[in-house]
């Protein structure tokens, strides 16, 4: 991977070429503006990138949160179809500001500066909260869950994951985080988002998860998740799994 950094006005431009993976993710992060640099937007030109791993995605997610906390933006341009597919499957494309080229980014920046932003709809805010929830699980950033879940959030599973219980009730976000950590201790869970629909206070998500078991088996499970939100936070989650599809992989 090679990196080239430049500045245009209030935007730092980082052009990357090659592969972004666990071997060079630290180098990639080091070339980005520091977390306390409150004067810079960031534009990452990915035209020359043909592969990005989960380590690279974590750098983008962490940088996105840093920029937002400072009232700034993280944008990407020149995203190849294979990289866009990774962004879509992880849910990151919903949060990133994506452009065809550096020129289209700066043209859009001029238009945005002149426009009065419209407030996001309830449905859009709820979708973003659920996607943030799923990304926190996907990248095992469990500390982020308290921002989008209510203490006392309940979850149900059908068919049940446990013989005696079909659901869980959590007294706090910390308790829910511990529950997720236990799941991830035995399974390497990767969530691929297929579609998201929001209406009223409900959000429905079609997912496919991949589980890597201790004996080396890899199993995919299609499932639907239904989330009820209140004031931008999840209060109830229900999951319906295709257990027949799981069983067919064991035969």
List the chain domain ranges. 2-113, 122-248
| Helix (H) or strand (E) run with residue 2 in it | strand 2-8
CA–CA dist 239, 160 (Å, integer): 9
Three-state SS at 147:
helix
Determine the topology of domain 122-248 in CATH: Nuclear Transport Factor 2; Chain: A, (3.10.450)
Taking the model in full, what pTM does it have?
0.60
Predicted local distance difference test score (pLDDT) of residue 113: 63
Predicted local distance difference test score (pLDDT) of residue 187: 53
Domain 2-113 matches domain 122-248 at the CATH topology level? no
Calculate the CA dihedral of residues 187, 188, 193, 198 and round it to 10 degrees.
50
Under CATH, which architecture does the 2-113 domain have?
Answer: 2-Layer Sandwich (3.30)
Q: Specify the residue for token string 């390497």.
A: 188
Closest CA to 212 of 189, 240, 243, 193: 189
Alpha helix stretches (DSSP H) within 41-114? 54-69, 81-90, 102-114
Predicted local distance difference test score (pLDDT) of residue 132: 87
Predicted local distance difference test score (pLDDT) of residue 202: 96
Cα distances (angstroms) measured from residue 103 to each of 12, 99, 100, 190: 14, 9, 8, 35
Output the tens digit of pLDDT for each of the chain's 251 residues: 899 999 988 899 999 999 999 999 999 999 999 888 888 899 999 999 999 998 999 999 999 989 988 888 999 999 999 999 999 988 888 888 999 999 999 888 777 666 666 677 899 999 989 988 888 887 777 888 888 998 888 888 787 555 444 567 777 777 887 877 776 665 566 778 888 999 999 999 998 887 766 667 777 888 999 999 999 999 999 989 887 887 787 66
Predicted local distance difference test score (pLDDT) of residue 158: 80
Within 8 A by CB and 6+ apart from 111, the residues are none
| Helix (H) or strand (E) run with residue 47 in it | strand 41-52
């Amino acid at each position: 991977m090679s990196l080239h950094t430049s500045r245009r006005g209030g935007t730092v431009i980082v052009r990357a070429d090659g592969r972004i993976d666990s071997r060079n993710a630290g180098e990639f992060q080091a070339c980005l503006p520091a977390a306390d640099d409150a004067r810079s937007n960031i534009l990452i030109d990915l035209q020359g990138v043909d592969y990005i791993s989960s380590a690279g995605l974590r750098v983008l997610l962490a940088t996105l949160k840093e920029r937002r906390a400072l009232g700034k933006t993280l944008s990407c341009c020149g995203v190849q179809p294979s990289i866009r597919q990774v962004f879509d499957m992880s849910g990151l494309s919903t949060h990133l500001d994506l452009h065809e080229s550096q020129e289209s980014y700066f043209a859009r920046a001029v238009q945005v500066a002149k426009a009065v932003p419209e407030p996001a709809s309830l449905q859009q805010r709820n979708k973003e909260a659920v996607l943030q929830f799923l990304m926190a699980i996907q990248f095992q950033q469990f500390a982020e869950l308290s921002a989008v879940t209510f203490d006392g959030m309940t979850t149900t599973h059908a068919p049940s994951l446990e013989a005696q219980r079909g659901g869980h009730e959590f007294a706090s976000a910390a308790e829910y985080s511990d529950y997720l950590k236990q799941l991830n201790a035995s399974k390497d869970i990767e969530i691929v988002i297929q579609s998201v629909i929001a209406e009223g206070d409900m959000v429905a998500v079609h997912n496919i998860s991949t589980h890597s078991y201790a004996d080396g088996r890899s199993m995919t499970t299609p499932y639907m998740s239904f989330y009820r939100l209140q004031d931008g936070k999840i209060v109830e989650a229900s999951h319906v799994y295709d257990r027949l599809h799981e069983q067919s992989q064991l035969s």
